[in-house]
């Protein structure tokens, strides 16, 4: 059994400037999470429509099915890179 923490990990904010900075940082983090979530959902929708043949989203830039899925993979890598950048900002 472990002993509970005697001190809280974070102390309450008493300074007005510190509180404003903390609020801005939290807002930026939540906006980052929202953007990544929206992009990921759009990517899932495009993938499902592409897989079922409803649309050929990348037809203007890719002629074969393999090229279209390759373009989709590039978009997925971009979304993952944005997510990594967003999560790195949250962790710091």
**26: which 2 tokens?**
């939290």
**59: which 2 tokens?**
């037809």
Instruction: Give per-residue pLDDT as tens, 48-80.
Output: 988 888 887 777 888 888 888 888 899 899 988
Banded model confidence at residue 4, pLDDT cuts 50, 70, 90: low
**90: which 2 tokens?**
């949250």
What is the structure's pLDDT at 9? 62
Contact present, 2 and 53 (Cβ < 8 Å): no
What Å distances lie between residue 48 and 45, 70, 75, CA to CA?
Answer: 5, 15, 14
- Tell me what the mean pLDDT of segment 21-50 comes to: 87
The pTM (predicted TM-score) of the whole model is 0.66
Banded model confidence at residue 45, pLDDT cuts 50, 70, 90: very high
Task: Give the burial string for 28-52 (b: 16+ CB within 10 Å, else e).
Answer: eeeebeeebeebeeebeebeeebee
């Amino acid at each position: 059994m472990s002993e509970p923490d005697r001190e809280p990990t974070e102390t309450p904010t008493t300074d007005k400037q510190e509180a404003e900075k903390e609020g801005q940082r939290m807002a930026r983090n939540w906006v980052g999470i929202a953007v990544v979530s929206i992009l990921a959902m759009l990517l899932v929708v495009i993938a499902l429509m592409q897989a079922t043949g409803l649309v050929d989203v990348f037809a203007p830039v890719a002629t074969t099915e393999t090229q279209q899925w390759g373009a989709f993979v590039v978009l997925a890598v971009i979304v993952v890179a944005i997510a990594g950048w967003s999560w790195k900002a949250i962790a710091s």
